[in-house]
Amino acid sequence: MQKSLHIDPAKCTGCLQCEMACSYEHTGVINPSKSRIKVFNFEHEGRKVPYTCTQCADAWCMNACPVEAIVIDAATGAKVVKEATCVGCKVCTIACPFGTVNYMADVGKVQKCDLCAGDPKCVSACPTGAITYVDADWTGLDRMRAWAARTNTAAVAA
């Protein structure tokens, strides 16, 4: 079964444990500035929103890459940057409509979420369940369940 990151912004408190876990996994340093998941704080609305790559099936970044440095991880479906191949041309960062591929000036390559080979560290680091890793075909399951719970209430009342 392929899985997918699922984000529920209503549960996010803005603690940045996900950014720490992500950066440590990929760089060996606790460094949110290198995180591939980013929490945005909309101060005046009281909303905090974690955001990262959704792993498009037909991925703009992959299609745009002139050197085929972005490949599909068959096991997870993640679009993964092969650093050895990447030439740092940044075309993928322009092609991605969501901004989730970014250039790292210090190494001259791009980086994006690779789903940590199927064990996303942001998920295990999140203390509130705002980020989960669920069946890719059923990302709507929780929402469906919530709405389902509101139907046929007559049976409960009876």
Partner 1 sequence: MGWNRKVLRVNLTAGTCNPEPLNMAWANDYLGSRGLASKYLVEEIDPKVDPLSPDNKMIMATGPLTGTMASTGGRYTVVTKGALTNAIACSNSGGYFGAEMKFAGWDMIIFEGRSPKPVYLYLENDKAELRDAGHLWGKTCWETEETIKASHQDPLIRVSSIGAAGENAVLFACIVNDLHRAAGRSGVGAVMGSKNLKAVAIRGTQGVSGIKDFPAFLAATNAAKKVLADNAVTGQGLPKYGTQVLMNVINEMGALPTRNHRDVQFEDAGKISAEAMHEKRPTDGKPHLVTNAACFGCTIACGRISKIDETHFSVKNSPKYWGANGGLEYEAAWALGAANGVGDLEALQYANLLCNEHGMDPISFGATVGAAMELYDLGIISREQIGVDARFGSAEALCKLVEMTAHGEGFGKELGMGSARLCARYGRPELSMSVKSQEFPAYDSRGIQGMGLTYATSNRGACHLRSYTVASEVLGIPVKTDPLVTEGKAELVKAFQDATGVFDAAGICVFTSFAWTLADVQPQIQAACEGDWSMEKLNEVGERIWNMERQFNLAAGFTAADDDLPPRLKTEPAKTGPAKGLVNGIDKMKPEYYKVRGWNADGVPEKATLERLGL
> Which residues of the shown chain bind partner 1 in the complex (CB under 8 A)?
13-17, 20-21, 23-24, 27-34, 43-48, 125, 127-128
Nearest distance, CB of residue 117 and partner 1, angstroms: 18
Q: Of the two residues 13 and 63, which places its CB atom closer to partner 1 in the complex?
A: 13
Host H or E run for residue 94: helix 91-95
Amino acid at 138: W
Closer of 14 and 140 to partner 1 (Cβ): 14
**Two structure tokens written together for 43:** 């101060």
Q: What sign results for the dihedral spanned by CA atoms 22, 70, 54, 98?
A: positive
Residue 123 CA to residue 58 CA, distance in Å, equals 24
- In whole angstroms, how close is the CB of 157 to partner 1 at the nearest point? 25
Q: In whole angstroms, how close is the CB of 28 to partner 1 at the nearest point?
A: 7
Residue 39 or 86 with smaller CB distance to partner 1? 39
d(CA 100, CA 51): 8
Of residues 44 and 66, the one with the C-beta less far from partner 1: 44
